[in-house]
Structure 1
Amino acid sequence: MKLNLLCSILLCLVVASLPAYSQQGPPVPTSLKTLKAVHPRLIILDSQIPAIKRNIAADAFAKKQFDSMRVRAEFLLSQPVSPYSPKGPRGQELSSAREILEHILTLSGMYRLSGDKRFADRAVAEMTSAAQFPTWYANLLANSEFTAAMGIGYDWMYPVLTPQQRALIRDAIEKKGIGPFTRHMDRKDFHLRNNWADVFYGSATVAALAIADPEDKASMELAEKVVGYTRPGMKWIMELFAPDGGFDEGPIYWGYATIYNVLYIASMDSAVGTDFGASTMPGFEETPTYLIQATGPLFTSANFGDARPEVASPSPQIYWFANRFHRPAYMVQQRLFEDHMRHKIAAMPVHDGLKRFNMLGIFWYASAPQPKSAPSLPLVQSFARTQQAYMRTSWNDPKAWYIGFKAGEAGVSHGHLDLGSFVMDGLGERWAVDLGSESYSVPEYFGKKRWNYFRTQTRSHNTLLVDNENEDRNGIADILFAKKVGTNEYSVADLDKVYKGKLEAWKRGIAILHGNRVVVQDEVAPAKPVDIIWNFQTRSEVEIAPDGRTAILSQNGVRIKATILEPAKAHFSTSVAQITPEETANPGLTDLIIERRQTSEPETIAVMFSDPQQSQSFHLKKLADWGNK
């Protein structure tokens, strides 16, 4: 399922369910008197290019990235100029805009690094063609990506553009890109507090700074108006990174939001000399830590909510973060990711994930000092912003055990009814899976039917299902603590408010013990007799022992053992999801379950996962005692 199609179809769906924001009042008075008069002035200046070239020549990783992008640029020379895609499916519009963005960035960036005028000529051909398109689409995401592409291209290719070409492209940016943005802002009908806002504000700023001319009063007034809107708007949306960099919408949408945060900040810095404090917003410096922690040892993500199943995407902006905030660990982790995922990234469509920004990744990587070593990030970390916890036994072992544990709020943008759920990796495999999003094209996925679909419901997640009903749509859960004590790692969540009227109390703890076993422990106190189903969604083959107390999970020649520790008379069984024909199939999916019927007294449900060859001994402790030495 392609991210571009997912994002784009969303635009035609109900927005009322999302947290709202409306720009209040006129734009904030903003002076751009320090705007550089020369081009290029956005993101990367010409004065930086010689050092970048030297670093590419001296660094094997950078050289490999550059060579890959040069091959891509050469390929584009053999292809026709991007055609206009008439109004059609919104996925088509967004794909078209993203492809043009990738073409312009790749070609103009390669020209700046190589000096080969063939790339400049083709970048200009792309821009002059796109400038004459009748529209850059009513789809605001498509329009925004188009606008960013043309703004960067205009600035980077300004020295080779003729006066006529400059006028053509500048006029198109003003009327077809910035015009729709300012009309929305003037009407005060921008009601967004999710990743869309980052894209809208970032793209409009890039374009306005590109075409502003200190010798032209009208263009400066337009740029100051745009930045007068985007300056408070961007800082307002970036409040969602506070206090520690966690991101409610998950790792995929983290990438989409932060690439435009970075384009905004980098463009303001390079063109004006200030970002008006955006980069100092609480949590922003730390936010790559969230993405890195949400990526497991197999370089697959803890894909809670509307995220693609178990796929991590390139995030070239992490190199910018590493350089800007002097965080060598960011550089090291992103480089490891790209090395490991090189072939998968190469196979991705250019409009998928953030692949279209890979040229910027080369500039940002080669602009930064390359660390010989870097301090490791913590093995255990939780995020107050999202109330999620992450635990792993190693940063450099693909067979490490890894847990992504979800609490937080059910009602966040792109969220599912999945509080208490988790993903689990170990011994080189993912055992507990999250299915990610349903197709955004199913009826009313963001409307009244959202909770009718299996993938958004509680029963599709690795958590407790009570009375065969979804969790409370307004449920809230907190991570009480996540910490490492000796050779053990612990995280405990308070889920008391998730099943109101059904459970008086519910605490869930997940522990990685001695680096070789995982325990998932629930302590529940029913408010009345209830049916409880403990769920563990897996794509492994499941073989349950005759007594039902243990099960062997097998995939790709690797096995782990699941053992029920409590209750004494509980047993495993399996269930296969029943879905409607319009929903996405789940081949190979099995739900390993424990059923507790008409439970009325407080009880503990505890399951241990381990290598069958390891000792199975374990002393059960109350969650209140977890984490104590």
Structure 2
Amino acid sequence: MNRKECFSTLLVLLFCLFASAQHDSVSASTQFPAHPRILWLKGEEKNILQTVRTDATWRKIHESIMAECDALTGAPELKRELEGRRLLGVSREGLRRIFFLSYAWRMTGDKKYLQRGEKEMLAICGFSDWNPSHFLDVAEMTMGVAIGYDWLFDGLPEASRTTIREAILQKGLQPSLLGRNNGWLRASHNWNQVCNAGMLYGSLAIYENEPALSREIINRGLRSIVLPMEDYRPDGAYPEGYGYWGYGTSFNVLFISAVEKAFGTDFGLTGLPGFLKTADYLEHVTGTTGNAFNYSDAGNGGGLQPAMFWFAAKRKEPSLLWVERGRLEREAPGRHIRNRLLPAIMLWGNGVRMKDISAPQQLFWTGNGKSPVALMRTSWTDDKGIYLGLKAGSASVNHAHMDAGSFILEADGVRWGIDLGMQDYNSLESKGVRIWDKGQYAQRWEVYRYNNYAHSTLTINDSLQRVTGNAPITKHSASPALMHAVCDLSEVYKGELLKAGRGVAIVDQSYVVVRDEVEAPQKATTLRWTLVTPADVNITGDNTAELSKNGRKLGLRVETPLKVQMKSSPAVSKNAYDAANPGVTLTGFEVTLPPGYRGSITVLLVPGGLQHKTYRLPGALAEWP
């Protein structure tokens, strides 16, 4: 064992000693329900059947799950095939298949779903291992097999039960006890949430056969999962962004929901500060187009989030489901069948009538924490309205990019200002790119989509933003006359600027203003202002441009006493490993700040185009209410 492994093992031992000194929530006297006990107790099927019979939307979801299960009965079995260092794609598909098939069996009693679920599990249990070196793979595989074992328990032959149970133990739970595999126990990001959830499900599934080990892992999870849940303080903004909210938060909800169902209590987890508030974040981070503000490592677009139905039920606020209602009613059911957690929506949303889901009242939301954001719109019901999102924070946060001060903009049904989002990890790792190093000059920041050059923010002297810098949101207002947020970017540009502040606003519910206030050092300083856009760009004057897309227009005008040079170029990287960005343009301008310059640059963004009239430009950021 090398020094690093010794140190890791020591940390785990210290963690376990500290944890064992605390009170165990689950003891030998704790009562466990009989199978099925994970998420969905015996006899609860009848409530869902009643909902399916009486509600067309829920019936459509149910029928899409059943149709997919019918298709799965003829699919080839999964094989242990790694993609790079990950088995995660196979694990996720395994979870999806088993979750779907087990749901179908419990809802219909049709043995073809039982037999296919059994076949899937036996194939997975025959793998040499579930890839513990990348423990997310083990966690999702364990969760899937545990759900199948528990939900299909009464129909499984004893020989199959034994095989599946031993695999959960030997390939799921036991590897989590080794220090080299369980660093996630001390993490405050999605790995903790996903891995603890997977191990909880495995422990609940085989409790009768491994009571002591199961209790140890359940209690360990209850103590450990509070670490990532701390990151929802104070307002619910998820530090890793939309994409990882759909991962980490969903598995956190799966953890709590299973604990509640099994023990009749959540042991205080739901009440941790900020956690229930995160449903507001998820709803507001989705724009008028239905796509999310995809900052950090998030993909483009948006998708159905089953966990939102759990939050809405907990808070007794159906309006939290406004976005989800829109997806269910407007999108074809087939779009959702790749969501491996889709059956959970039938459990958590059971009984919610779509007609009872009304639009939210608030048009503005802001959240502080590790990755502060401000999200504002002119309407929830007008898909042509304005949506504006501001990202602050730090590049040091897990999965973050150098995007402090960046924004997205939607109007007239078009996303004018975009975030390029993530690039597939394996596409970079397979080329030898070290994307997990977060040092100031790490190779991660050479990836095109990760640095500030390709975000809608400022670049100073062609330099990277400071990784250790942090940009807080310092003020905001939901006033319809000047709906806005202001962030302090000074730390992010330390060494290049003495001070930097950015305010973004929707003015009079009609157009957008981005105001930057800077103080330069005693040397000439080059400032580049960028808008990343999928639109066609036509530079129309010394300080103006017109963007066009889908028959719509957006006018851009720069207001500053300094001479600016308008620029526009394709979003093309020189690195062979970077993903292509077809149809995307970087537009904006460059300006030279004189030595010691203190002043502002204001950019006006007008849906419909500049109309050659006077627009109200807010004054200094200090005067914004």
Distance 1:517 1:254 in 2: 30
How many residues align? The count is 596
Unpaired segments ≥5 residues, structure 2: 6-10
Aligned equivalent of 2:290: 299
Alignment check: 8 A CA contact 1:548 1:573 kept: no
User: Which of residues 362, 379, 389 is equivalent to 2:363?
Assistant: 379
1:344, distance to aligned residue in structure 2 (A): 7.8
Aligned equivalent of 2:591: 596
Aligned equivalent of 2:8: none
Alignment CA distance shift 1:397-1:209 (3 Å): same
Alignment CA distance shift 1:229-1:115 (3 Å): same
SS in 1 for 2:503: strand
Aligned equivalent of 1:429: 414
Distance 2:55 2:64 in 1: 14
Distance 1:87 1:551 in 2: 48
Aligned equivalent of 2:532: 537
Query: Which residue identity is paired with 1:239?
Result: E
Q: Is 1:419–2:425 an aligned residue pair?
A: no
Unpaired segments ≥5 residues, structure 1: 1-13, 16-20
1:332, distance to aligned residue in structure 2 (A): 3.0
Alignment check: 8 A CA contact 2:57 2:354 kept: no
Distance 2:200 2:381 in 1: 39
Higher relative contact order (CA 8 A, sep 6+): 1
1:626, distance to aligned residue in structure 2 (A): 4.8
**Greater CA drift, 113-122 or 614-623:** 614-623
Query: Which residue identity is paired with 1:618?
Result: Y
Q: Is 1:122–2:106 an aligned residue pair?
A: no
Alignment check: 8 A CA contact 1:34 1:273 kept: no
Q: Is 1:476–2:470 an aligned residue pair?
A: yes
Alignment CA distance shift 1:84-1:31 (3 Å): same
Per-residue CA deviations over 1:253-288 (Å, capped at 9, x if unaligned) read 111101211111111111122221111111111112
Query: Which residue identity is paired with 2:423?
Result: E
Q: TM-score, normalised by structure 1?
A: 0.90
User: Which of residues 494, 516, 527 is equivalent to 1:522?
Assistant: 516
Query: Which residue identity is paired with 1:555?
Result: K
Query: Which residue identity is paired with 2:52?
Result: I
Distance 2:141 2:162 in 1: 17
**Greater CA drift, 433-442 or 222-231:** 433-442
Alignment CA distance shift 1:189-1:70 (3 Å): closer
Aligned equivalent of 2:251: 260
Aligned equivalent of 1:18: none
User: Which of residues 325, 331, 336 is equivalent to 2:326?
Assistant: 336
1:205-604 matches, cutoff 5 A: 205-213=200-208, 219-308=210-299, 310-342=300-332, 345-346=335-336, 350=338, 355-368=339-352, 372-374=356-358, 376-385=360-369, 386-440=371-425, 441-442=427-428, 443-447=433-437, 448-528=442-522, 529-545=524-540, 547-567=541-561, 569-576=563-570, 577-600=572-595, 601-604=597-600
User: Which of residues 98, 101, 108 is equivalent to 1:107?
Assistant: 101
Aligned equivalent of 1:74: 70
Distance 2:297 2:325 in 1: 26
Query: Which residue identity is paired with 2:594?
Result: T
Query: Which residue identity is paired with 2:556?
Result: A
1:462, distance to aligned residue in structure 2 (A): 0.7
Query: Which residue identity is paired with 1:505?
Result: K
Q: Is 1:608–2:578 an aligned residue pair?
A: no
Alignment CA distance shift 1:432-1:165 (3 Å): same
Alignment check: 8 A CA contact 1:184 1:190 kept: no
User: Which of residues 52, 59, 64 is equivalent to 1:63?
Assistant: 59
Aligned equivalent of 1:619: 616
Distance 2:171 2:443 in 1: 35
Alignment check: 8 A CA contact 2:486 2:621 kept: no
Alignment check: 8 A CA contact 1:381 1:391 kept: yes
Alignment CA distance shift 1:373-1:411 (3 Å): same
Alignment check: 8 A CA contact 1:461 1:535 kept: yes
Distance 1:292 1:615 in 2: 36
Q: Is 1:166–2:166 an aligned residue pair?
A: no
Distance 2:78 2:452 in 1: 44
SS in 2 for 1:202: helix
Alignment CA distance shift 1:537-1:567 (3 Å): farther
Q: TM-score, normalised by structure 2?
A: 0.90
Distance 1:236 1:472 in 2: 26
Distance 1:200 1:599 in 2: 53
Alignment check: 8 A CA contact 1:205 1:264 kept: yes
Query: Which residue identity is paired with 1:398?
Result: D
Alignment check: 8 A CA contact 2:242 2:285 kept: yes
Distance 1:335 1:549 in 2: 43
Aligned equivalent of 1:3: none
Distance 1:598 1:507 in 2: 15
Distance 1:178 1:322 in 2: 32
Alignment CA distance shift 1:449-1:187 (3 Å): closer
Query: Which residue identity is paired with 1:166?
Result: R
Distance 1:510 1:544 in 2: 23
**Greater CA drift, 146-155 or 24-33:** 24-33
Alignment check: 8 A CA contact 2:487 2:502 kept: yes
Identity %: 29
SS in 2 for 1:409: coil
1:625, distance to aligned residue in structure 2 (A): 5.2
Instruction: Flag as ranges the 4+ runs of structure 1 deviating above 4 A.
Output: 185-191, 367-371
1:384, distance to aligned residue in structure 2 (A): 1.0
Alignment check: 8 A CA contact 2:184 2:195 kept: no
Alignment check: 8 A CA contact 1:495 1:505 kept: yes
Alignment check: 8 A CA contact 2:568 2:585 kept: yes
1:391, distance to aligned residue in structure 2 (A): 0.8
Alignment check: 8 A CA contact 2:64 2:333 kept: no
